[in-house]
Chains A and B, each alone.
Chain A
Amino acid sequence: EVQLLESGGGLIQPGGSLRLSCAASGFTFSSYAMTWARQAPGKGLEWVSAISVSGSNTYYADSVKGRFTISRDNSKNTVYLQMSSLRVEDTAVYYCAKDRSSSPRSAMDVWGQGTTVTV
C-alpha cells in the first residue's frame, strides 16, 4: 500500500524553526517528484514547495521563498521541509504529496494525512 506519513509538526514561537518529515512507503520513492502543500484553518489549499527526483531542482511559493527549504533523502524514502523564520500566517496543516511523475509539474496522486504547525 502506498503511504505517506508526515511528522514534526507542533507549536512554535514566531521566528522559530521546525523541520517536517514525510516518510514514504509502497512505491519507488526515488522515481517520483514530491510536493508540500498546506491548509490554514478554515481556508483553502496552498501549494508550498516541490522537489525533483534527484533533489537538484526545488521550487517554492513566494510566501515561503527564502524561509523554507525542501530536501529529500532517497536512501531513507523521506522528504523534508525545513521551515525557519516562522510567522503566524504559516499556521496550517502541512501535507506531503507524491507527484504522478518524475516531474514536479504533475498532479499529486497520493497525500499524507497532514501534520499541524501552529505558530
Chain B
Amino acid sequence: EIVLTQSPGTLSLSPGERATLSCRTSQTVSNNYLVWYQQKPGQAPRLLIYDTFSRATGIPDRFSGSGSGTDFTLTISRLEPEDFAVYYCQLFGSSPPWTFGQGTKVEIK
C-alpha cells in the first residue's frame, strides 16, 4: 500500500499570497494518477486536479498541479477568500486501496 504524506499540516497565509502544498508518496509513482480535492467545513469534497496536472471542470486557473516520482504539488497562485479550506491528495496506483493523504489546512493568517 502506498502511503501519501501531505505537508505542511497547516498553512497560514493571507489573501493574495501564493500557496504551495506538498504530497509525497511512499513509492515512486509510474503513472500520473495523482488527484487533489478541496473540502470546506460541512461540505463534501470537490475535485480540483486529476492526473497530476489537469484542472477539473469549472476550477479557476489559479489552481495548478505538478510533480512526478514521489513528489507532487498543488499551487494556488493567489489565494482568494473562498480558497481557505482543507486540501487532500489521492493516488490511484495500480491496485487498491486508493488512499488519501491526511490533508493540509489552508487558513487565514
Contact = CB atoms under 8 A, between A and B. Distances in A.
Contacts of A105: 33, 92, 98
Contacts of A106: 33, 50, 92
B-side interface size class: 20 to 34
Interface residues of A, number: 22
Interface stretch (B17-25, B41-49, B70-78): B41-49
A111 B44 contact: yes
A62 B56 contact: no
A47 interface: yes
Interface of A: 37, 44-47, 50, 59-62, 95, 100, 104-109, 111-114
Given A62-B1, A111-B44, 11 more contacts: A44-B101, A47-B98, A47-B99, A50-B96, A50-B98, A61-B96, A105-B33, A106-B33, A107-B51, A109-B47, A109-B50
Interface of B: 1, 33, 35, 37, 39, 44-47, 50-51, 56-57, 86, 88, 90, 92, 96-103
